[in-house]
Structure 1
Amino acid sequence: MSESASGDDRLRVAVFRPNDDRLAEARALLDELGVDPVSDPMLAVEPTDATPRGADYVVFTSKTGAELVAAAGWTPGAATVVAIGPKTAAALEAAGYAVDLLPDDYSSSGLVDLLADRAAGASVEVARSDHGSAVLLDGLREAGADVRETVLYRLVRPEGAGNSTTLAAEGRLDAACFTSSLTVEHFRDAAAERGVREAAIAGLNDAVVGVIGEPTRETAESHGITVDVVPAEATFEALARETVARLRTVDDASR
């Protein structure tokens, strides 16, 4: 296991959250867990200035989307407002929106399960990023809903992202927490631009890799990355805690 860039012997864990309060919260959590956070924002938000159209149900899949529609002054009218999870719900409620429905499983599949018996013949507006999973749209259509999608923002790779790929290639990264398929793809692209793609993936495979859900696992494995942790709950806190716990087990076994 590595010696951290800060000069102590804490284990290094890469985190790829957007460079806003989510990254600060992720860093604070990893620090609390006793590891050295490697901040490498792999996502930046480009708003489209679009807002959801009228529908029977309006589904939000991120805190970012909630904040953008609030800033635009969107009003839900008579729509039933649905949030994918507690962070999204909290952002909607902080902006003054009432959240009517929340799935038990905080994922696209969980939203389909939640709405499948409600949405037949209803109009459903899905308000999200340009990289949303097809699982949600396809599942709702199969349930008989009239589904429309509004892209509230685009997710791009920030200029300069990729310091974690160099650490991975050099064998100096102990774990990584991927929060979406896109963070995996942007890691791969950043490594390729640095000429270390194969070495970076090999470095990940010598480390502990945590992913937030099954779609992200599928993406990682399609790029040759071995996944060690998929948390029971699709939240960053669960991902971080379970990844660090696995890392501690591996580290203890190697001593």
Structure 2
Amino acid sequence: MSARVAVFRPDDERIETARSLLRDLGVDPVADPMLAVEPTGATPRDAEYVVFTSKTGAELVAEAGWDSGDATVVAIGPRTAQALESAGYAVDLLPEEYSSTGLVDLLSDRAAGASVEVARSDHGSAVLLDGLRDAGASVHETVLYRLTRPDDAGESAAIAAEGDLDAACFTSSLTVEHFLDAAAERGVRDAAIRGLNEAVVGVIGEPTRETAESLGIDVDVVPAEATFEALARETVARLRETQ
């Protein structure tokens, strides 16, 4: 039987893309969406810089008909930039590191005394806001959407608790937290953690690593590039090494 690898992306084209990639890598995907998107209907305020941290946010402002005006548009990474550009927005800046820290590094010398609008979910990292404020920017955050846990989430937690999960790919701190919440609801939280620690655990970025490890989960893979494709490929490669 093929190795079973859990993936927690939202239940839209992202979970389908993840399934397809994992199958191409020769493993059996366990698709267990841990995030559901609830739009707020808000749009970014006018500012000199407007920062987007996700493809979802880019799609929502496009649907709302947001006008970028004279703002310098900043995207956290290539998928966010592609979504903005597909909707007709010009993306002016992209960080070298696709993370909140990368955005702070990109903007710290530019944003002193400038107005910066951060448009993202309700679970964005404080690193971005604090870093920009420390750099002297006037920062405002607009919550474009809320991230909640789907009611039926948790199949992967049950499989991990049974010792039948070979690997897991966590794409944010919130997916880790929601995984454990779903496990707790099923009464298998401790067993699910033990199951993960016998498997290969991959995470996107150091903040997700810190969250996982603080909750008792051993992390095996943090890809240098903060994309799901890099996460999946490196996690499966590590899994192959252990088999």
Shorter-normalised TM range: over 0.9
- 1:72 counterpart (64, 67, 90): 64
Query: How do 1:240-255 and structure 2 match up within 5 A?
Result: 240-251=232-243
Structure 1 SS opposite 2:15: helix
Which residue of the partner structure matches residue 34 of structure 2? 42
Aligned equivalents of 2:6, 2:194: Cα separation in 1: 15
Aligned equivalents of 2:126, 2:169: Cα separation in 1: 23
Aligned equivalents of 1:101, 1:50: Cα separation in 2: 23
| Consecutive unaligned residues in structure 1, runs of 5 or more | 1-8
Which residue of the partner structure matches residue 184 of structure 1? 176
Q: CA RMSD in A?
A: 0.4
Which residue of the partner structure matches residue 228 of structure 2? 236
Q: CA deviation at 1:121?
A: 0.2
Which residue of the partner structure matches residue 142 of structure 2? 150
Aligned equivalents of 2:131, 2:237: Cα separation in 1: 34
For residues 164-190 of structure 1, the C-alpha deviation after alignment (integer angstroms, 9 at most, x for no partner) is: 000000000000000000000000000
Which residue of the partner structure matches residue 96 of structure 1? 88
For residues 75-120 of structure 1, the C-alpha deviation after alignment (integer angstroms, 9 at most, x for no partner) is: 0111000000000000000000000000010000000000010000
Which residue of the partner structure matches residue 129 of structure 2? 137
Which residue of the partner structure matches residue 97 of structure 2? 105
The count of corresponding residues between Structure 1 and Structure 2 is: 243
Aligned equivalents of 1:48, 1:102: Cα separation in 2: 26
Aligned equivalents of 2:67, 2:115: Cα separation in 1: 17
Question: How does the TM-score come out when normalised to structure 2?
Answer: 1.00
Q: CA deviation at 1:159?
A: 1.0
Aligned equivalents of 1:122, 1:98: Cα separation in 2: 20
Runs of 4+ in 1 over 2 A off after TM superposition: none
Aligned equivalents of 1:224, 1:82: Cα separation in 2: 35
Aligned equivalents of 2:124, 2:182: Cα separation in 1: 21
Amino acid of the structure 2 residue aligned with 1:243 = T
Which residue of the partner structure matches residue 3 of structure 1? none
Which residue of the partner structure matches residue 208 of structure 1? 200
Which residue of the partner structure matches residue 210 of structure 2? 218
Amino acid of the structure 2 residue aligned with 1:226 = D
| Pair 1:21 & 2:21 matched | no
- 1:196 counterpart (185, 188, 206): 188
